[in-house]
Amino acid sequence: MEINLISDTVTKPTPEMLQAMFNAKVGDDVFKQDPTVNAFEKMVADLFGMEAALFFPTGTMANQTAIKLNTNPGDQIICDKWSHIHLYESGGASANSGVNFNLLDGNRGMITAAQVKEGINDPEFYHVPLSKMVGIENTTNKGGGACYEIEELQKIKQVCVDHNLKYHLDGARLWNAMIAKKQQPKQFGQLFDTISVCFSKGLGAPIGSVLLSDAETMHRALRIRKIFGGNLRQSGYLAAAGIYALQNNINRLEEDHRRAKELGTQLEQCSWVAVVEPVETNIVIFSPQPHIEDKIVIEKLKQKGISISIMSKGKLRIVTHLDYRQVMHEYVLETLEKINF
């Protein structure tokens, strides 16, 4: 039995999702003539109570488009030091938009309104970059799937309003956060200028993210997506997977969260594990004892048919997902209990 827990991006479409894709009515989306894409974008926009949405092939492209929409070259983005837009998008913010970052030292990838306020540059002091956008990641990837309380996001919004800052949400795993915290999409739609949400992680679609904002902003986003090479033709086949995911795969995220917490509990009982970080959603980050090398743990689990990933030196990551079934889960729990180093 091969069990892949390196990420929730490894899932494959279910037969039901494939059938929905096969049955999709399609057109040329570059001319905005794909009925399934149009329906998908409207569905997501309505869900968040926002005016418009645009389908993207990747979450990175959606985030990079939001940055370009919200900033000018030379501006500065305020975000946590572990933010995906800073660490894992190949320097795109610099290459595509000519902006830099003020990186805040948050808690597990989450920042506070007080930190944001402190991090804003004086707009009259022209020797420093102009603070222009606040970037939030929810859930936090490197923070181990931690999620924000809506009250703190509201406080940060007020800081943005007071200081004329744009407010962007990288919601690659926002679905997980909403299930874990019992939050609603419209709560986020009311707060943020731009939101990106991903369908190829917890929701199990093979590809795709959606960017949301007001209608005028999303009209401008069409040109930026074109510049980035993100226009697709009969992309309704992919949008159909997103529609199926929305209709069928959100509530089941609770199963991923339950299994992740059970894995965290099991790891806490293992003598070869030094630290297990708090588990809120579907990501488990843990550290082996200092005398045990990361690659030894990776290799030993691989010999048992279990693949996990290295987040950084001394930090290993397990991610539960749609294709991780209960029978696999029981085997992994048993393996973790019995394995020795």
* pLDDT value of position 199: 98
Q: pLDDT below 70 — which residues of the chain?
A: none
Residues 150 and 261 in one domain: no
Residues 274 and 139 in one domain: no
Q: Is 99 helix (H, G, I), strand (E, B) or coil?
A: coil
Residue 72 lies in a domain: yes
What value does the mean pLDDT of the chain take?
97
Distance in angstroms (rounded) separating the CA atoms of residues 130 and 98: 12
Residues 124 and 89 in one domain: yes
CATH number, domain with residue 23: 3.40.640.10
* pLDDT value of position 103: 98
Cα atoms in the Cβ-side hemisphere of radius 13 Å centred on 151: 0
Residue environment code for 236-273, b if the CB has 16+ CB neighbours within 10 A, otherwise e: bbbbbbbbbbbeebbeebebbbebbbbbbebbeebebb
Residue 2 lies in a domain: no
Query: Do β-strands 100-104 and 130-137 pair in parallel, antiparallel, or remain unpaired?
Result: unpaired
Residues 325 and 191 in one domain: no
Domain final residue, candidates 227, 248, 269: 248
What Rg, from alpha-carbon coordinates, does the chain have?
20
Cα atoms in the Cβ-side hemisphere of radius 13 Å centred on 253: 27
Residue 7 lies in a domain: no
Distance in angstroms (rounded) separating the CA atoms of residues 109 and 43: 30
Residue 4 lies in a domain: no
CB-CB contact of 165 with 25 (8 Å) = no
Residues 243 and 166 in one domain: yes
Residues 119 and 241 in one domain: yes
CATH number, domain with residue 302: 3.90.1150.10
Residues 262 and 141 in one domain: no
Residue 44 lies in a domain: yes
Residues 141 and 155 in one domain: yes
Distance in angstroms (rounded) separating the CA atoms of residues 309 and 231: 32
Count of the separate structural domains present in the chain: 2
CB-CB contact of 45 with 242 (8 Å) = no
Residues 220 and 325 in one domain: no
Residues 47 and 155 in one domain: yes
* pLDDT value of position 17: 98
* pLDDT value of position 125: 96
**Cα separation values, 2 from 216, 229, 317, Å:** 47, 36, 17
Domain final residue, candidates 224, 248, 272: 248
Domain final residue, candidates 229, 248, 267: 248
pTM: 0.97
Task: List, for residues 199-230, the tens digit of each pLDDT value.
Answer: 999 999 999 999 999 999 999 999 999 999 99
Residues 159 and 236 in one domain: yes
* pLDDT value of position 262: 98
Residue 151 lies in a domain: yes
Residue 24 lies in a domain: yes
* pLDDT value of position 213: 98
Residue 111 lies in a domain: yes
Distance in angstroms (rounded) separating the CA atoms of residues 299 and 261: 23
Q: Which domain range does residue 291 map to? A: 252-338
Residues 132 and 194 in one domain: yes
